[in-house]
Amino acid sequence: MNMKGTLLVTVLSAFVLVAAADWGAWSDWSPCLCSLVRVRTRECVVQPCLGDEAESQPCACVPTDPPIDCPMVHGANSVDGVLPDNCNCSNYVQCVRDQKTNLFTGHFRSCNPCEIWDQFLLTCVLDMSQPNCHFEPSTQATGPCPLGEVADNEYQFVLGNSSIRDCPPGTKFNLTLCTCVHYDPGVPEFVSITCLKFNGDFKPTKGLWMYNDGVTLDPNGMLSECAFFDSSKKSKLELPYFSNALDKFPQFAVSVWFKRSAGTSGTRSLIDNSDCVNKASIQLTSAAGALTGMIRTDGDNYTELFDPLIANDLSGSASSAASDNSWHHYVFSYNGSIAKFYLDNNLIGTDYLFGRPDRVKAPMFMGGCACEQNDCFFDGYMDTISYLRVPLSTADVDYLYSNPDECVPPAPAPTLTP
């Protein structure tokens, strides 16, 4: 009998059993991801652990035609206003509460080619790994990245030979990974959140994605092209980035140029993030020959601007009358305690509040609203819509009024740490 051989086998068997026990149990398989794989993971109990902590396998995802019920499809705790499409990485789902049934229904939205939805940033981002997605190496690049190089600052990069692109908010360009990566600087990195100029396209700045629902370009803007809204087609623009995110900004401002078509009745939405059940936290509207506006904070403290101003005791130095078929400049500014409304470089309303703009599940709508009532859709034109994370002074408002193609004043007020 070979005692040495038996002992060796016993020792090796014990080693295998100990090595297997170093790992915890495998987790359940995840749902089928939009990349058509599912994954499971395990934790290392005792180092060192041999093998992988995660494994994946192909899976089949069954798509659901819209409208869908968001809680049933994505889980009761996942109704976040905007959700990823589990079957397609290039899609996302906009959840809207139905007034009649009180259920959230989902409507599919699609990113541009070579982009995928990023649920962390709430915007579409580049994904060069998709089939048929490539760019010529940049002739401007001087560093290790084949697609580009940091341009004016660390939040921009050169994309091939085509254009300078912005990294989305909350990211900056990483020269090692050659892409925009998430980071938390502790303070806001941009004065501007995003801006829409409508000069040849509908692309917002700062790398944000916007969904266009029937809005067209028109050559008769303030300086060049502008956006044309048609209420008969229920046309509107949507910025999903603001879904469940507006309370990140303790200070906030919106600047928009608009021209309301003559003969339009009722109060029509310019900027609105209401979700059918909850009041908007930011709402700027155009009534017949006048303006209205509202901000609601997370302390359920809100103010509303009406015409005449005496209606809710807002003090202003000018009337909110805004004639139809003429261009007007409307500005809302909030510094964390004072809300101000401006029309055509005149202060028309001031009120004192507390708290941050409240979190609402809807995106920021321009020219429409979530519930799609016929009387909320705007008829007319908009140009240079700017969202900022700082309040605007009188001098800032004057600069934007005098320079209708500009998004940011030259020296706006400092930001607050969120």
Q: What is the pLDDT of residues 113-147, one digit of tens each?
A: 778 888 777 778 777 677 776 655 555 555 566 55
Q: Which two tokens stand for residue 93?
A: 């789902």
Distance CA 58, CA 43 (A): 22
**Average model confidence (pLDDT) across the chain:** 75
| Residue 177: pLDDT over 80 | no
What contacts 68, CB < 8 A, 6 or more positions away? 93, 105, 106
Confidence class of residue 303 from pLDDT cuts 50, 70 and 90? low
Pick the most confident of 94-98, 99-103, 352-356.
Answer: 352-356
pLDDT tens per residue across span 187-231: 344 577 889 999 888 888 777 888 899 999 999 888 889 999 999
pLDDT surpasses 90 at 294: no
pLDDT of 176: 66
Q: How confident is the model at residue 311 (pLDDT cuts 50, 70, 90)?
A: very low
In this predicted structure, what is the pLDDT of residue 329? 95
Q: Comparing 341 with 85, which gets the higher pLDDT?
A: 341
Dist. CA 260–CA 322, nearest whole Å: 9
Q: Which residue has the higher pLDDT, 50 or 166?
A: 50
Q: What is the pLDDT of residue 351?
A: 81
Domain boundaries defined on the chain: 192-402
pLDDT tens-digit series, residues 246-277: 767 788 899 999 999 988 888 899 999 887 66
Supply angle C-alpha 289, 224, 109, rounded to 5: 80
| Residue 65 vs residue 178, higher pLDDT | 178
CATH class in words for 192-402: mainly beta
Q: Does residue 158 surpass a pLDDT of 50?
A: yes
What average pLDDT does this structure show over 286-315?
62
Report the 10 Å Cβ neighbour count for 67.
Answer: 16
Of these ranges, 65-69, 70-74, 293-297, the one predicted with the greatest mean pLDDT is 293-297
* Other CB atoms within 10 Å distance of the CB of residue 403: 14
| Amino acid 118: pLDDT | 81
Looking at residue 18, its pLDDT comes to: 45
d(CA 227, CA 240): 19
Please name which of 353, 337, 355, 351 lies closest in space to residue 299, comparing C-alpha atoms. Answer: 355
Separation between Cα atoms, residue 365 and residue 283, nearest integer Å: 9
* pLDDT at position 72: 47
Instruction: Round to whole Å and give the CA distance between 290 and 308.
Output: 9
Do 165 and 157 meet the contact criterion of CB atoms below 8 Å apart? yes
| Residue 12 vs residue 175, higher pLDDT | 175
pLDDT (0 to 100) of residue 212: 92
Give the alpha-carbon dihedral of 9, 14, 17, 22, to 10 degrees: -130
Burial of 405 (0-12, 13-18, 19+ CB in 10 A): middle
